[in-house]
Amino acid sequence: MGRAMAVLTKVSSSPVIDRLGLRKQFEKALTSSVKNGFTAVAAGERVFTATRKLTQPQRLAKPKDPELFDLEPTEEQQMIVETVREFAAEQLRPAAHDADAKAQTPDGLLSRAAELGIGAFGIPEELGGFGTERSVVTNVLVAEALAHGDMGLAVSVLAPSAVSTVLVQWGDAEQQSTYLPAFTGDQPPVAALALHERGALFDPRKPRTRAKRTPSGYQLDGVKALVPRAADGELFVVSADLEGRGGALFLVEASTPGVTVTPDPAMGLRSAETGLLQLDKVKLPPSALLAGGDQKVLQEVVRLSRLGWCALAAGTGRAVLDYVIPYVNERKAFGEPISHRQGVAFMVSDIAIELEGLRLVTLRAASRAERGLPYAREVALARKLAADKGMWIGSAGVQLLGGHGYVKEHPVERWYRDLRAAGVMEGAVLA
């Protein structure tokens, strides 16, 4: 890298660059090269090692069953939500427009989220986190609050937490000792849960990525799509079919030979810097396999991931509603606010109704998951509402703004693009 920088510096001082009128393009390329170069070095230099050996894995306790079924947040949950929502308003919302335009997560965002403790809530105190109980409802409320700022940046912030949650829930003592301490520091690793794959009718419970046993462990071959922050990634949890016997989860460090990343920008979530994770004869040790390759673990991860996307859709939908209400009240046509027109008022009302339905089904699924009750049906209902009504809420928001809804001056067009992800994305986040 040092030699390459020396060459670039020498070329930049050449007057030929100015004569050809390429100064601005060259400086842009140089800046990108420096950023990507140092990012690669930083990712390669982090070594995951156990700070202390655990004799047994640390799990978060199951919350006590409430005497009455109540979806009203507790005082502690309300305090957490208010804090996170304030963070989203101050850090995510102002940065969202430029982050979407550049398809880039702002520098330092993960560090600021770590200072707030967003990633440490789900890590046991014994490992340096703040967690005492496993609360799916709290995770859903946090995802919803972050998405109110911006869904793409919320995905960037929550992606490492998905990996740490998998390690807390299903990692063994060695895996927790090696990886979890890094997630409680000031500079948490860029990590992602990679389940999504390209292809029609893709079923995340039946991954096309292949894993086979070798004398030294396992070998992975395949491609994962729409992986958040893939280019900067240091650790991935990857799903793969283990020798035709079903889906399993593997821990893959970015520095492992055979792991390459290419950009994979999408219609929405552009600030999440999605990329393709390519695995070409990637050799992994036996310790890379999570939960002994149990298929039920992958099924649980898929359900919790879908629950997370429903929460993100609810948060972004709330952002749309909060934006269009003052707009239709202030925007005047024919001498009066357009909210006085029944067609406009009814559409705003429908957004509120559909949003409330999505939130309640999502919270009910989260509550059942938290208490250890069957919740597959509830997740399926929430996912259906997020896919259909979430997309409709985004479209209705654009419609209510008229011509303003189609331009980037207003954030509704971005929220519309992001909301479409709720019905197609797999992995990346975890409730």
Q: Which residues contact 247 (CB under 8 A, 6 or more apart)?
A: 204, 205, 206, 207, 239, 240, 241, 295, 298, 299
Q: How far is CA 206 from the centre of its chain?
A: 21
SS3 384: helix
Structure tokens at 342: 């029944």
Strand 289-290 with 247-253, pairing: antiparallel
Alpha-carbon distance values, 306 to 196, 386, 416 (Å): 12, 10, 19
Structure tokens at 404: 């303003």
Are 228 and 162 spatial neighbours (Cβ–Cβ below 8 Å)?
no
Are 269 and 229 spatial neighbours (Cβ–Cβ below 8 Å)?
no
Q: Which residues contact 374 (CB under 8 A, 6 or more apart)?
A: 368
- Give the number of other Cβ atoms within 10 Å of residue 214's Cβ: 12
pTM recorded for the entire structure? 0.87
Residue of 60, 119, 108 whose CA lies nearest to 84: 119
Q: Is the CA virtual torsion 430, 81, 233, 127 positive or negative?
A: negative
- At residue 67, the pLDDT reads 64
Per-residue tens of pLDDT for the chain, all 431 residues: 343 434 444 444 555 455 445 555 445 444 444 434 333 334 446 788 777 788 788 888 888 777 666 778 889 899 999 999 999 999 999 999 999 999 999 998 888 988 888 888 888 888 888 888 889 999 999 999 999 999 999 999 999 999 999 999 999 999 999 999 899 877 889 999 999 999 888 999 999 999 999 999 999 999 999 999 999 999 999 999 999 889 999 999 999 999 999 999 999 999 999 999 999 999 999 999 999 999 999 999 999 999 999 999 999 999 999 999 999 999 998 899 999 999 999 999 999 999 999 999 999 999 999 989 999 999 999 999 999 999 999 999 999 999 999 999 999 999 999 999 999 999 999 99
d(CA 218, CA 254): 16
DSSP 8-class letter at 50: -
- At residue 381, the pLDDT reads 97
